Amino acid sequence: MNWATSRVAELCFHGIGVPDRQLEPGEDRFWVDPSTFASILDAVRDFPSATISFDDSNVSDVIYALPGLERRDLRADFFVIAGRLDQRGSLGCEDVRELGRRGMRIGSHGMDHVSWRQVRSASSQEREYVLARRMLGDLTGTEVTAAAFPRGAYDRAAITTLRALGYEDLRIIDGGASSPDAWLRDRYSVTRFDTAESIAAYLASPDGGLAGRLQRTVKRGIKRWR
């Protein structure tokens, strides 16, 4: 079996252009310039198995991402923070409906963008895992079964709870590739230091060779089981 062709790489974008809200500490490195974003999308077209997603539901999802994707006949998954709907700088309810109408898939990124490793009480689980998903499902008229871990933070307890609640598609962000049918899928988070060339190099070898793959497997094992 050829590893390269049997695994899929996913790019995760956060913000594009200039943010219109207060950023969290360290978040600015995940905001990319609009022209770089466009050139990265052009590069992605050379990798038909590559997939794309957007976290954090910044308003740049509809200003830059949606038109850029449609121009290239690409589709993506959008992981929305339910508690930020209609806040300045974030997607509004109508934006989320529009993304759904245009063939984009909506997933949950929780209610308050808190680490799901800290979500332990029944009431916080209800808010982050159940209520957020229900709000997004009510908007799009579809059942939301996909979620991306806020801040990329996950562990065994969170995964077990989410699976029990019927989540079928969970996304992490450790930077490797995944089997296309896996219910826990890895992604690479695009930063403002990336270029079309760096992304093309990543997509050509998303697991970074055997050494990088083993290293990530160990890292993921530690994160998942602690």
Binding residues for Zn ion, rule: CB under 5 A, are 55-56, 150
Burial of 137 per CB tally in 10 Å (0-12, 13-18, 19+): middle
- 85 and 93 in contact (C-beta within 8 Å)? yes
The CB-of-5 to Zn ion minimum distance in angstroms stands at 30
Pick 43 or 188: Cβ nearer Zn ion: 188
- 149 and 173 in contact (C-beta within 8 Å)? yes
The CB-of-221 to Zn ion minimum distance in angstroms stands at 23
Pick 15 or 196: Cβ nearer Zn ion: 15
Q: How far apart are the C-alpha atoms of 54 and 40, rounded to whole Å?
A: 14
The CB-of-125 to Zn ion minimum distance in angstroms stands at 18
Pick 12 or 43: Cβ nearer Zn ion: 12
The CB-of-113 to Zn ion minimum distance in angstroms stands at 6
Q: How far apart are the C-alpha atoms of 11 and 203, rounded to whole Å?
A: 9
Pick 56 or 207: Cβ nearer Zn ion: 56
The CB-of-13 to Zn ion minimum distance in angstroms stands at 11
The CB-of-103 to Zn ion minimum distance in angstroms stands at 23
Distance of CA 214 to the CA centre of its chain: 23
Pick 55 or 77: Cβ nearer Zn ion: 55
Pick 30 or 43: Cβ nearer Zn ion: 30
Q: How far apart are the C-alpha atoms of 117 and 157, rounded to whole Å?
A: 8
